[in-house]
Structure 1
């Protein structure tokens, strides 16, 4: 009868480097967090800049339509 130990040899030669794994994970998390905030803020600021530059650079303005008040 074979045991589990004889079927799967011991692989103790391979050890995880948990400190490097943890450090790399924290660094990647910080990079992704900061890049996400930068992307969100850049879309917010480019939206404001584009809307103000379009109205000032073009000579024609888009006419505003009035919405009638709603009756209850």
Structure 2
């Protein structure tokens, strides 16, 4: 039967490259933060543009409201 050392080799020389891990994490965090801000602002600006162009054309029109059918 195989011993534990032959199945699982010694990993004492294994180490993480913390500098690369940290740099990659910071870069990803900045990219996601900036993209989130851009998405939030783009939706806000497109909403403002649509509402300002829509309000000038519909200012002379009376808004239509639905009247629910009478209940019994």
After TM superposition, the score normalised by the length of structure 1 is 0.64
Return the offset for 1:14. 5.4
Return the offset for 1:63. 1.8
Gaps in structure 1 of 5+ consecutive residues: 67-72
Q: What is the CA deviation profile of residues 3-60 of structure 1, one whole-angstrom value per residue up to 9, with x for unaligned ones?
A: 311212235665431111111111101110121111011101110111112333x477
Structure-2 change in CA distance of 1:15 and 1:61 (3 Å): farther
Match of 1:3 in 2: 3
Gaps in structure 2 of 5+ consecutive residues: 66-72
Match of 1:64 in 2: 63
Match of 1:70 in 2: none
Aligned length: 65
How do residues 1-72 of structure 1 correspond to structure 2 at under 5 angstroms?
A: 2-11=2-11, 15-56=15-56, 58=57, 61-65=60-64
After TM superposition, the score normalised by the length of structure 2 is 0.64
CA RMSD of aligned residues (A): 2.8
